[in-house]
Amino acid sequence: MKHLLPVALDLISRYADHPQCKFKDSVFPVLSNLKMNACLKEIADLCEINKTLTFHIARHTFATTVTLSNGVPIATVSKMLGHRNLKATQDYARILDKKNRNDMEILKDKYSMF
């Protein structure tokens, strides 16, 4: 587990003795998607985040913002997400390409004013 980020290792250690983790031999207690999304909504409310947070959005953000945007190879991201093939992960990369194009258009527009 030394290849994990320190924050991930910290989270894993916090749940090491959780009864559900021990019983099911899992790293974290497993919530239903509905319950997970309810928890994320509560966190967003407490943090005054005015966006809908869901587990799917969290996975998507991890794939795009945390990994692919920081140079982690797409094959590695695919494996981390549990995708069976690269095709599923390529959708995330296409979104990044589109964002890059849009960002560059905005930058180009800013510089065209000079």
Domain residue ranges of the chain, discontinuous segments joined by +:
1-30, 31-111
Task: Tell me which H or E stretch contains 64.
Answer: none
SS3 category, 113: coil
Do 59 and 73 contact (CB within 8 A), yes or no? no
Instruction: Record the pTM.
Output: 0.66
pLDDT tens for each residue of 30-73: 889 999 999 999 999 999 999 999 999 988 889 988 888 888 89
